[in-house]
A and B are shown apart, each in its own frame.
Chain A
């Protein structure tokens, strides 16, 4: 397992070790090939955009990193760990080190904003007295401190997206995966989300963002991996 100290150093100048490595990865869903011989590397502390139209394979890459799905062929290494060799029992601690912002948010509708974020801390077995401080810190970061007691159904799309981001950040992950974090948001809100991610990256965390939003990508001027039809077409 990778060392937590990488993040705890809180330094963007940490040695650029390999964080994610895909080696000739292919993934098919029935007769549809989602990824074809995809190889790329993301260094520790990098900010990378996976860019491409719908069906390009961006979400598949994120799911493979999280070991939500298995590749047909190829190798995937995350933080020095061969993902394919992770045993079922070791999967929870592996996932605990990755912060995810899901395309469909994956928030619990019957829980408040605060409770949705606390769940991530409970999963990590963080002592309850420390929750308040950490939850407040991330809520401030995403600008939702005033909305902590509301339910997701009482929030706007952008706010829901930011709750999802706050939940991903509260566990101090080494790696952040964000799947279309600006999807369906207006320019201003999308910009706010990207600002938060940039701030997090500046603290030394690795950020991988899957998006089809060209404007955002062009504005951010970060490394881009362009995908189309399950292949990397430009890096």
Chain B
């Protein structure tokens, strides 16, 4: 193994421009992959944030007893389509109102607590089922009316809101998936072509090694090690550039998005996520390097 590593390093040193070109190409590829990973994380968090916010509020009729409220709450909690059911009393509703109008205390003082109805707030696991659930909840005897809070602006009906959220989610998933696939394919091609170039320059060596009795694994190892060195360098550089960029923009981004968790606020969580990205990219890169060098090697032997 020692010899193979030495051989790979020697080969890199003796063809510095080709090696630099390979590392540069892979750095760009993994830089974009890291951007995509960060964007995927942030968009996932944004969607989760909107999805987990209470979307449906069932306003309860005045005079409803605690038992009947508990019974409905229990019923909703057991419904698999619904999550995070929360009871908001009249007093809590007033407190929320006062918090919301804290800049204008007069508004808070003018209202009587009795005008705020108690309510049951809950989120939905699947927004497409919202209409049906709302109709069911409306038909409950203790429910006065049902409101839907999710709105991205401009929608006239619940159907619009649901449709818009679904579309955004779908586009993000499809676009991200397509982009990820495109990048993976491109990086794989870049790797195979780069390695192919390197192997072509080593074809004589492969032939000589074959003739003096080298096993296939012996011939392959320096080439695989060489490609792993390129990939690991590319992954590290690409990842590092984005880490520095994100660290630089993080305070402004957190400030701009407010309570929407586009980036983790805890440094531990932040570096853990970047650590996971680095590890995943390294695993993906090593896998690509191994498959790519084997493919490039078999192409080179076929051409011979």
Listed in ascending order, the chain A residues whose CB lies under 8 Å from chain B are 66, 68, 91-98, 100, 102, 106-111, 115, 118-120, 122-124, 128, 167, 171
Does the CB pair B205–A96 fall under 8 Å? no
Cβ–Cβ < 8 Å partners of A123 in chain B: 209, 212-215, 218
Is B156's beta carbon under 8 Å from chain A?
A: no
Smallest CB gap from B3: residue in A: A122
Does the CB pair B208–A108 fall under 8 Å? yes
Is B204's beta carbon under 8 Å from chain A?
A: yes
Does the CB pair B211–A94 fall under 8 Å? no
Does the CB pair B211–A95 fall under 8 Å? yes
Is B140's beta carbon under 8 Å from chain A?
A: no
Does the CB pair A96–B212 fall under 8 Å? yes
Partner among A96, A107, A128, A167 whose Cβ is within 8 Å of the Cβ of B3 = A128
For the residues of B in contact with A, the DSSP-based class is helix
Does the CB pair B211–A92 fall under 8 Å? no
Is B75's beta carbon under 8 Å from chain A?
A: no
Give the residues from 211 to 248 in chain B that come closer than 8 angstroms, CB to CB, to chain A.
Answer: 211-216, 218
Known: A123-B214, A123-B218. A106 touches B14 (CB 8 A): no
Give Cα A120–Cα B2 distance, bound, in whole angstroms.
Answer: 15
Is B207's beta carbon under 8 Å from chain A?
A: yes
Known: A110-B14, A128-B2. A93 touches B208 (CB 8 A): no
Cβ–Cβ < 8 Å partners of A106 in chain B: 204, 207-208, 211
Smallest CB gap from A96: residue in B: B213
What distance in Å separates the Cβ of B262 from its nearest Cβ neighbour in chain A? 50
Cβ–Cβ < 8 Å partners of A97 in chain B: 213
Does the CB pair B211–A68 fall under 8 Å? yes
Does the CB pair B212–A119 fall under 8 Å? yes
Does the CB pair A94–B213 fall under 8 Å? yes
Give Cα A164–Cα B77 distance, bound, in whole angstroms.
Answer: 82
Give the residues from 124 to 177 in chain B that come closer than 8 angstroms, CB to CB, to chain A.
Answer: none
Give Cα A93–Cα B213 distance, bound, in whole angstroms.
Answer: 6
